[in-house]
Amino acid sequence: MINARRRPPESADLGDLDQHVGYMLRRAQLAVFAHFTAAQSGLVARPGQFSVLAVIARNPGLSQSQLCEALGIKRANLVAVIDHFESLELVRRDSSATDRRSNRLQLTAGGERALKKAVDDLAKHEARITSLLGVAGRAALMKQLAKLCELGDG
């Protein structure tokens, strides 16, 4: 099949990749994450970092294992994020009173300020997405993405 789409001569022919959900999700994710990062002006630079702070804020005393499970991330990846936040004095690890092998996570006052700044910056990012999709389009996308998350359930 000949691809009739115009493209600059130096770019590769992607064929029908733009017809595959996974490929387009990944391209959209890259664009959304890049825009998120550009919109952030504080200590939180990446979407994953934001998620970690936001969940800790909503669940003070959460264990690292519980946080990994909630966010669907590997423990080794989380440890690096928590180490980074601890070095910036945004998060602290408290020993669990019931399990000495477990740490309970808390935001510090600095972490609360950093999260507030990130939330303010996030509002600008989300507004840009809504301006591209429209309110109804954004709502429909969120509904469809939630359905796609069900693929991981079975």
> What CATH number corresponds to the domain at position 112?
1.10.10.10
pLDDT of residue 35: 97
Instruction: Give the global pTM.
Output: 0.84
Let me know: does 107 contact 56? Beta carbons within 8 Å.
yes
How sure is the predictor about 99, in pLDDT bands with cuts at 50, 70 and 90? confident
pLDDT of residue 7: 58
How many Å apart are CA 95 and CA 103, to the nearest integer?
5
pLDDT of residue 154: 62
How many structural domains compose the chain? 1
The angle subtended at Cα 149 by Cα 143 and Cα 154, nearest 5°, is: 135
| 74: phi then psi, degrees, rounded to nearest 5 | -75, 145
How sure is the predictor about 2, in pLDDT bands with cuts at 50, 70 and 90? very low
What average pLDDT does the structure give for the chain?
91
Does residue 94 belong to any structural domain of this protein? yes
Per cent of the chain over pLDDT 90 is: 80
The alpha carbon dihedral of 138, 128, 55, 74 has a sign of positive
Does residue 114 belong to any structural domain of this protein? yes
Higher pLDDT, 98 or 50: 50
pLDDT of residue 91: 97
Q: 47-58 vs 64-71: helix axis angle to the nearest 10?
A: 120
Does residue 27 belong to any structural domain of this protein? no
Does residue 36 belong to any structural domain of this protein? no
* 87: CB partners within 8 A, 6+ apart: none
Does residue 60 belong to any structural domain of this protein? yes
| 136-141 mean pLDDT | 98
Domain of 109, in residue numbers:
42-118
Does residue 75 belong to any structural domain of this protein? yes
pLDDT exceeds 60 at position 4: no
Does residue 128 belong to any structural domain of this protein? no
Does residue 56 belong to any structural domain of this protein? yes
